[in-house]
Amino acid sequence: MTGSTIKLSSGYEMPQVGFGLWKVDNKICADTVYNAIKAGYRLLDGACDYGNEKECGEGVARALKEGLVKREELFIVSKLWPTFNDPEQVEPVVKRQLSDWGIDYFDLYLIHFPGALKFVDPSVRYPPGWHHDGKSQIVKSKTTIQDTWRAVEALVDAGLAKSIGISNFQAQLIYDMLRYARIPPATLQIEHHPYLVQQELLNLAKEEGIAVTAYSSFGPASFLEFGFKHAEALVPLLKDDLITGIAKKHGKEPSQVLLRWATQRGLAVIPKTSRPEILAQNLDVNSFDLDQEDIDKISAKDSGIRFNQPSNYFDTQKMW
Ligand code: NAD
């Protein structure tokens, strides 16, 4: 595997810099994935909810066919959407997702969010999204994380996933999980940028041997399109004086400083872009080192501001 990797508790190596697939338009997704692989990305971060797994698979198939990479050189990640958290739904949806990707195992499979939602049959709507009726209803399922995790562990036994992990979990849930997990989560994927550092959660993950992947590394940038007022109110991190000043000092882009701030502290990152020059730039983030003083200054911007809160996408706080 090329580039820096992180050794997971499962024994597998995970590339430290990957490519994110959220909001990659279906029309350009196959080309984007192919171009990302061509640019050198080996980790692809997908999910049922992104609604583009078929197109991702087309991009992968083209890269494999042209001999750009072998399947075993790729590290393909996907996620379990909460409407499939009921144990009996896990394996069927994973098989569907694998079939969409055109592969027979995921390198890493994550529980996307902790709270289970009532099952929506894929023949009714796929991907199902948050709402049971496709419009406004949030309907919970009684399934616990423990029940879902047992079914996710069974994916490893069945050879459908090499490593398994969690996303958007907080400390107490992780402590609880570690008491019953037969296979502990290999990774934790969380929102992480200078406005949301979550240092205590990072410390916990380190103590427990759980690798952390940071998403939305550029903070508010990813959430402006949802009209989130708290995203609009903030100074964009790519234009922030501290970040641009550090970038200038190293002859790098502000985006590279934000990604390096995470990777130098041992985290994996999964930025996304469809612009070829940016593809290469986002991948080239481990070729310089930030000064510790600058790392600390960036970390000191922490304001506990979270954008990817499920309740931000629908009008109820009841579930979370
Ligand atoms: P991102 O950090 O990839 O991108 C945010 C915005 O910045 C996008 O508009 C992108 O086009 C732009 N951008 C990318 N590189 C840039 C650069 N070098 N200069 C300027 N602009 C640049 O944000 P994201 O998509 O929120 O997160 C990355 C990935 O993380 C997602 O694609 C997805 O795979 C994953 N993710 C996971 C969850 C989860 O719940 N587990 C949630 C959000 C994202």
Q: What is the ipTM of this complex?
A: 0.98
What distance in Å separates the CA atoms of residue 286 and residue 220, rounded to the nearest whole number? 23
221 close to ligand 1 (CB < 6 Angstrom): yes
Nearest CA to ligand 1 atom 6: 222
Report how far residue 274's alpha carbon sits from residue 27's, in angstroms, rounded to the nearest whole number: 12
For ligand 1, say whether the CB of 35 is within 6 Å of any of its atoms: no
Is 50 one of the annotated active-site residues of the chain? Answer: yes
CA of 228 to the centre of ligand 1 (A): 16
Q: Whose CA is nearest to atom 2 of ligand 1?
A: 216
Q: Is 50 in the pocket of ligand 1 (CB under 6 A)?
A: no
From the candidates 50, 109, 195, 215, give the one annotated as an active-site residue.
Answer: 50
Question: Is the CB of 76 within 6 Å of ligand 1?
Answer: no
Q: Which helix (H) or strand (E) holds 230?
A: helix 229-232
Order of strands, sheet of 161-167, starting from the edge strand that comes earlier in the sequence: 18-20, 43-45, 75-80, 106-111, 161-167, 187-191, 211-215, 268-269
Q: Specify the pLDDT at position 135.
A: 92
How far does the centroid of ligand 1 lie from the alpha carbon of residue 158, in Å? 32
Residue 215 Cβ < 6 Å to ligand 1? yes
- In order along its 320 residues, the chain shows pLDDT tens digits of 568 999 999 999 999 999 999 999 999 999 999 999 999 999 999 999 999 999 999 999 999 999 999 999 999 999 999 999 999 999 999 999 999 999 999 999 999 999 999 999 999 999 999 999 999 899 999 999 999 999 999 999 999 999 999 999 999 999 999 999 999 999 999 999 999 999 999 999 999 999 999 999 999 999 999 888 889 989 999 999 999 999 999 999 999 999 999 999 999 999 999 898 899 999 999 999 999 999 999 999 999 999 998 877 776 544 44
Q: Whose CA is nearest to atom 23 of ligand 1?
A: 216
- Which pLDDT value is given to residue 316? 52
CA–CA distance, 313 with 234 (Å, rounded to integer): 19
Mutate to test the pocket of ligand 1, among 21, 22, 108 (most ligand atoms within 8 A of CB): 22
